[in-house]
Amino acid sequence: MSNRAELLDLAAGLFLLCAVAILWRRDVRAQTAWLSGQGIALAAIAAILGAQDARPDLYGVAAGVALLRAALLPTLVRRAIAARAEDRESAPLINVGASLLAAVALVLLAYTVAQPLVRLEDTPAARALPVGLSVVLIGLLILVTRRKALSQIVGFLLLDNGITAVAFLAAAGVPLLVEFGVSFDLLLAVLVLRVLTARMRNLFGGSDLDEMRELRD
Amino acid sequence: MSAPVLVSLAQVLLVLLGAPLLVGAMRRLRARMEGRTGGGVLQPWRDLLKLLRKAPLHPQGTGAAFRFAPLLGVACSGVAAAAIPLLSTRTGLGAGADLIAVVALLTLATAALALAGLDTATAFGGMGASREMTITALAEPAVLTAVCALAAKVGSTNLPAIVAATLSHGARPASPANLLAAVALAVVVLAETGRLPVDNPSTHLELTMVHEAMVLEYSGPDLAMVELGAAMRLTVLLGLWSALFAPWGITTTADPARLLLGLAAFAGKTLLLGCLIAAGEVFMAKVRLFRVPELLAGSFLLAVLAVSASFFLA
ipTM: 0.70
Domain ranges of chain B: 3-312
Residues of A in contact with B313 (CB under 8 A): 9, 12-13, 127-128, 131
Between these two residues, A213 and B17, which has the higher pLDDT value? B17
Which residues constitute the domain of residue A45? 3-211
pLDDT at B75 over 50: yes
Q: What pLDDT does B171 receive?
A: 47
CA distance B50 to chain A (A): 44
Q: Does B138 touch chain A (CB under 8 A)?
A: no
Cβ atoms of residues B20 and B94 within 8 Å:
no
* B235-271 burial code (b ≥16 CB/10 A, e <16): bbbbbbbbbbbbbebbbeebeeebbeebbebbeebbb
Of A168, A143, A177, the closest CA to residue A157 belongs to A143
**Identity of residue A34:** W
Q: Supply the mean pLDDT for chain B.
A: 86
User: Alpha-carbon distance B132 to B136, whole Å?
Assistant: 6
**How many domains in chain A?**
1
Per-residue model confidence as pLDDT tens digits over B191-241: 888 787 777 777 766 777 888 888 888 888 999 999 999 999 999 999 999
Contact (CB<8Å) A6/B175: yes
**Identity of residue B308:** S
Q: Look at residue A93 and tell me if it is in a domain.
A: yes
pLDDT at B30 over 60: yes
Residues of B in contact with A14 (CB under 8 A): 176, 179
CA distance B130 to chain A (A): 20
Cross-chain CB nearest to B301 (options A6, A103, A131): A103
Best probe of the B interface among A7, A16, A122, by most B CBs < 10 A, is A16
Cross-chain CB nearest to A127 (options B172, B302, B313): B313
Cα B16 to Cα B118, B227, B233, B270: the distances in Å are: 27, 12, 10, 14
Q: Does B312 touch chain A (CB under 8 A)?
A: yes
Between these two residues, B136 and A76, which has the higher pLDDT value? B136
Best probe of the B interface among A18, A100, A134, A137, by most B CBs < 10 A, is A100
Q: Does A107 touch chain B (CB under 8 A)?
A: yes
Q: List, as ranges, residues 139-178 from B with C-beta within 8 Å of A.
A: 172, 174-177
Contact (CB<8Å) B294/A100: yes
Q: What pLDDT does B237 receive?
A: 93
Cross-chain CB nearest to A17 (options B174, B180, B312): B180
Contact (CB<8Å) B294/A131: no
Between these two residues, B277 and A203, which has the higher pLDDT value? B277
pLDDT at B11 over 50: yes
Residues of A in contact with B142 (CB under 8 A): none
Q: Does B304 touch chain A (CB under 8 A)?
A: yes
Q: What pLDDT does B251 receive?
A: 78
Residues of A in contact with B294 (CB under 8 A): 24, 95-97, 100
Q: What pLDDT does B42 receive?
A: 92
Tell me the pLDDT of chain A (217 aa) as tens digits: 467 777 888 888 888 888 988 888 888 888 889 999 999 999 998 888 888 877 777 788 888 888 888 888 888 888 877 766 666 676 777 888 788 888 888 988 988 888 888 888 777 778 788 888 999 999 999 888 887 777 888 888 899 899 888 888 887 767 777 777 888 888 888 888 888 777 777 777 766 766 666 666 5
pLDDT at B170 over 60: no
Q: Look at residue A179 and tell me if it is in a domain.
A: yes
Q: Look at residue A216 and tell me if it is in a domain.
A: no
Q: Look at residue A72 and tell me if it is in a domain.
A: yes
Best probe of the B interface among A24, A27, A45, A118, by most B CBs < 10 A, is A24
User: Alpha-carbon distance B92 to B291, whole Å?
Assistant: 41
Cβ atoms of residues A164 and A42 within 8 Å:
yes
pLDDT at B16 over 50: yes
B85-90: average pLDDT:
84
Contact (CB<8Å) A17/B302: yes
Q: List, as ranges, residues 183-202 from A with C-beta within 8 Å of B.
A: none
Q: Look at residue A196 and tell me if it is in a domain.
A: yes
Contact (CB<8Å) A10/B312: no
pTM of the model: 0.83
Residue B40: phi and psi, rounded to 5, are -70, 175
Q: Does A13 touch chain B (CB under 8 A)?
A: yes
Please list the residues that pair with B88 across neighbouring strands.
B251
Between these two residues, B208 and B72, which has the higher pLDDT value? B72
Contact (CB<8Å) B179/A14: yes
Close Cβ partners of B164 (under 8 Å, ≥ 6 residues apart): B85, B89, B252
